[in-house]
Chain A
Amino acid sequence: MEDAIVLKYQVIDGEFQRAGEVSSDVKHKLKQMGVPANIVRKVAIAMYEGEVNMVIHANGGEITVEITPEQIKMILADVGPGIPDVEKAMTAGFSTASDATRNLGFGAGMGLPNMKKNTDSLDIETLLGEGTTITMIVKL
Chain B
Amino acid sequence: MTLRDAAKIIEAEILVGEDLLDQEIGSICGSDMMSEVLAFTNEHSVLLTGLCNTQVMRTADMLDLECLIFIRGKQPTPEMLQMAEDDGRVVMKTRFGMFSTCGKLYQAGAGSGCM
Cβ-based interface call for A110 (8 A): yes
Q: Mark A40-77, 1 if CB is under 8 A from B, else 0.
A: 01001100110010000000000000000000000000
Name the A residues within 8 Å of B56 (CB-CB). Answer: 105
Q: Which of B51, B58, B63 contacts A19 (CB 8 A)?
A: B58
Name the prevailing secondary structure of the B interface residues: helix
Cβ-based interface call for A133 (8 A): no
Q: Which of A16, A37, A41, A105 contacts B35 (CB 8 A)?
A: A105
Name the A residues within 8 Å of B33 (CB-CB). Answer: 102, 105-106, 108, 110
Cβ-based interface call for B19 (8 A): no
Q: Which of B32, B35, B54, B61 contacts A49 (CB 8 A)?
A: B35
Bound-state CA distance A37–B53 (Å) is 26
| Chain A nearest Cβ from B51, distance in angstroms | 5
Cβ < 8 Å to B, chain A residues 85-119: 102, 104-111, 113-114, 117
Cβ-based interface call for B43 (8 A): yes
Name the A residues within 8 Å of B105 (CB-CB). Answer: none
Task: Tell me if A104 and B35 are in contact (CB < 8 A).
Answer: no
Cβ-based interface call for A32 (8 A): no
Name the A residues within 8 Å of B5 (CB-CB). Answer: none
With contact pairs A16-B55, A52-B55 given, residues A108 and B62 touching in the complex (Cβ less than 8 Å): no
In the assembled complex, 13 residue pairs joining A and B whose CB atoms fall closer than 8 Å, in A order, are A20-B54, A27-B62, A41-B62, A41-B64, A44-B62, A48-B59, A49-B35, A49-B38, A102-B33, A104-B53, A105-B56, A110-B38, A110-B39
Q: List residues of B whose CB falls within 8 A of some A CB.
A: 32-36, 38-39, 43, 51, 53-56, 58-59, 61-64
